Amino acid sequence: MPSAPAPPPVLHPRFPASSFSCPRRTHPSPRTRPRRLSAAREMPWPHVLTVAGSDSGGGAGIQADIKACAALGAYCSSVITAVTAQNTAGVQGVHLVPEEFIRQQLNSVLSDMSVDVVKTGMLPSAGIVQILCESLRKFPVKALVVDPVMVSTSGDALSDPSTLTNYRDELFSMADIVTPNVKEASKLLGGIPLLTVSDMRDAAASIHKFGPRYVLVKGGDMPDSSEAIDIFFDGKEFVELHGHRIKTRNTHGTGCTLASSIAAELAKGSTMLHAVRVAKNFVESALHHSKDLVIGNGPQGPFDHLFRLKCPPYNIGSQQMFNPDSLFLYAVTDSRMNKRWDRSIEDAVKAAIEGGATIVQLREKDAESREFLEAANACVEICKSRGVPLLINDRVDIALACNADGVHVGQSDISAREVRELLGPGKIIGVSCKTPAQAEQAWNDGADYIGCGGVFPTTTKANNPTLGFEGLKAVCLASKLPVVAIGGINATNAGSVMELGLLNLKGVAVVSALFDRECVMTETRGLRSILTDAFACFRS
Ligand SMILES: Cc1ncc(COP(=O)(O)OP(=O)(O)O)c(N)n1
Ligand SMILES: Cc1ncsc1CCOP(=O)(O)O
Ligand SMILES: [Mg+2]
């Protein structure tokens, strides 16, 4: 009997053994914590506390932070420092919350809840910065993300100039990351002009001297570039992060969203660079999906953080059965390869699951229908008993006849919408997509996931264009659905695919690197361990 397969990875474990940790701060010992009300099994919920201002228009500040955290799966509590009267035209008024009441809010949240990460936005006075630092010394947290909000995108002042000194001298030395845009970076450095990427690097290095562990200087406001380039600096090395500049008026709240997304990812256990990559990809995706939305009459509109919740009629009810984490290691069979190695489909599937495959697709291009159905019936039993979903490539008739968990179709197969009509809402439907437009169509048609590739050249599928990382990234950013990468993926390159930091890229689908090998189980086990390591590496 094969041993039971390892369960699909928990992709967001809370504080894995080697979780992101800041040596300067630790959680207080459990004894200093209030007693828990119940001894029931605890559900992990990464927790971000945002200390920021309210935006009555709902696009930035506290409102953006809560939506970003919700979209990324983190809980968000909030300490409100100021209430602004604000809309898409600008800031019409600011009402500061009394400092002692800010202290009270901080105390209420931090004394009761297990906050993982604190993220700061609008800190309008020097006194508020001091109170926050005092609270953080009293209630240490795992990480501190400081977005040095000073001026709104409409040009209105959100912070008294006297806070600059407290930011630099007190808060920055406690921060894990500081995320100024070029205007803020310039202000922090006494007004020096930042006109080039090289200036941004110099600014990041200078700000790092104030004490944060990492600095991200955001170049979204730099003129005349089709790219949004940010500079990440860890005190030794610079990383240039390139993103597409999305043409839209709906950019209000991008800074708050980026910082709170970094905080959410840190709370989930990411390393800093990975958290920044995921956050940047998330903002780019949200802007892309919101580019034509119209809210308000002013020059700068809000965008939709929760774009993935928008379900066209075909998607309603379609994803109930499907856990996107099961795409982690997707084994796709191939009859020619199995023949070459003299093994049955059933043995190939058993071995892949034993090695750690988290989902299986029968892709049997040469099989006769009757022979295919017999093998599919056997594989359904094998997969069911091991808790691994089984999908059928192309053949809806076979999937219906063997009661498989779903079907995978491509652009020249019967459409996902028709497959949904035939299979009903409870089954899994995957669609191959090479472009953002196809990804949009797959979502509208009620698919559950996208297979995107060939990422690398492959000989398994003839005449299949290679998309590279750029093509994969474009599809992932445009897709509201989870994505699995396919094409030429093997033990050597799988880690680099996962390291792209694409939030909805859930795993890799592999044919030859598992099945065109002598021992399917060993190859699958090896690949699974590489993926798990790559994942742990940026979740550590
Ligand atoms: C997970 C996954 N992604 C993509 C494909 C390719 O499907 P398709 O484009 O229909 O090509 P064929 O596999 O039918 O040749 C896939 N099978 N699985
Ligand atoms: C089915 C398919 N679709 C896009 S590439 C591909 C083949 C993947 O096979 P391999 O993992 O052997 O490159
Ligand atoms: Mg097909």
The string of DSSP letters for 263-320 reads: HHHHHHT--HHHHHHHHHHHHHHHHHHHTT---SSSS--B--TTGGG---GGGTTTTT
Q: 489-526 burial by CB neighbour count: b if 16+ within 10 A, else e?
A: bbeeebeebbbbbbbbbbbbbbbbbbbbbeebbebbbb
- Give the pocket of ligand 1 (CB within 6 Å): 330, 332, 361, 363, 393-394, 408-410, 413, 430, 432, 451, 461, 484, 486, 509
Residue minimizing CA distance to atom 15 of ligand 1: 461
Residue minimizing CA distance to atom 12 of ligand 2: 512
Q: Does any ligand 2 atom lie closer than 6 A to the CB of residue 487? A: yes
Contact partners, residue 275, CB within 8 Å, separation at least 6: 261, 262, 265, 266
Among 362, 415, 461, say which to mutate for ligand 1: greatest number of ligand atoms within 8 Å of CB: 461
The residue type found at 526 is G
Per-residue confidence (pLDDT) for residue 41, from 0 to 100: 60
Q: Which CATH class is domain 313-538?
A: alpha beta
Q: Which is it for strands 227-233 and 238-244: parallel, antiparallel or unpaired?
A: antiparallel
Question: Angle at the Cα of 428 (from 379 to 339), degrees rounded to 5?
Answer: 35
CATH 3.20.20.70-classified regions of the chain: 313-538
Among 363, 394, 411, 461, say which to mutate for ligand 2: greatest number of ligand atoms within 8 Å of CB: 461
Residue minimizing CA distance to atom 18 of ligand 1: 451
Ligand closest in space to the Cα of 411: 1
Q: Which CATH class is domain 45-307?
A: alpha beta
Per-residue confidence (pLDDT) for residue 24, from 0 to 100: 41
User: Does residue 269 have a cis peptide bond before it, meaning omega lies within 30 degrees of 0?
Assistant: no
432 C-alpha vs ligand 1 centroid, how far in Å?
6
Q: Does any ligand 2 atom lie closer than 6 A to the CB of residue 458? A: yes
Check the CA dihedral 348-354-355-357 and report its sign.
positive
459 C-alpha vs ligand 3 centroid, how far in Å?
16
Question: Angle at the Cα of 473 (from 494 to 388), degrees rounded to 5?
Answer: 50
For residues 82 and 62, what is the distance between their CA atoms, to the nearest angstrom?
10
Per-residue confidence (pLDDT) for residue 61, from 0 to 100: 96
Q: 81-104 burial by CB neighbour count: b if 16+ within 10 A, else e?
A: bbbbebbbebbeebebbebeebbe
pTM: 0.80
Contact partners, residue 238, CB within 8 Å, separation at least 6: 201, 204, 231, 232
Q: Does any ligand 2 atom lie closer than 6 A to the CB of residue 329? A: no
Question: How much is the ipTM here?
Answer: 0.97
Q: Which ligand 1 atom sits closest to the C-alpha of 412?
A: 10
For residues 33 and 513, what is the distance between their CA atoms, to the nearest angstrom?
50
289 C-alpha vs ligand 2 centroid, how far in Å?
29
For residues 399 and 412, what is the distance between their CA atoms, to the nearest angstrom?
18
Please give the positions annotated as active site: 218, 251, 253-256
Contact partners, residue 512, CB within 8 Å, separation at least 6: 334, 337, 458, 459, 460, 490
Residue minimizing CA distance to atom 2 of ligand 1: 451
262 C-alpha vs ligand 3 centroid, how far in Å?
38
365 C-alpha vs ligand 3 centroid, how far in Å?
9
423 C-alpha vs ligand 3 centroid, how far in Å?
17
Per-residue confidence (pLDDT) for residue 12, from 0 to 100: 31
CATH 3.40.1190.20-classified regions of the chain: 45-307
If 0-12 CB within 10 Å is exposed, 13-18 middle and 19+ buried, where does residue 245 land?
middle
The two tokens of residue 28 are 């207080």
Q: Does any ligand 2 atom lie closer than 6 A to the CB of residue 361? A: no
Spell out the per-residue pLDDT of the chain, length 540, in tens.
334 334 333 333 322 323 333 334 433 433 344 444 444 567 779 999 999 999 999 999 999 999 999 999 999 999 999 999 999 999 999 999 999 999 999 999 999 999 999 999 999 999 999 999 999 999 999 999 999 998 776 777 777 888 889 999 999 999 999 999 999 999 999 999 999 999 999 999 999 999 999 999 999 877 666 778 999 999 999 999 988 888 899 999 999 999 999 999 999 998 999 899 989 989 998 999 898 999 999 999 999 999 888 877 677 656 556 889 999 999 999 999 999 999 999 999 999 999 999 999 999 998 899 999 999 999 999 999 998 999 999 999 999 999 999 999 999 999 999 999 999 888 999 999 999 999 999 999 999 999 999 999 999 999 999 999 999 999 999 999 999 999 999 999 999 999 898 989 999 999 999 999 999 999 999 999 999 988 776 654
For residues 243 and 152, what is the distance between their CA atoms, to the nearest angstrom?
22
Q: Which is it for strands 47-55 and 117-120: parallel, antiparallel or unpaired?
A: parallel
Nearest to 535 by CA among 6, 11, 5, 7: 11
Ligand closest in space to the Cα of 515: 2
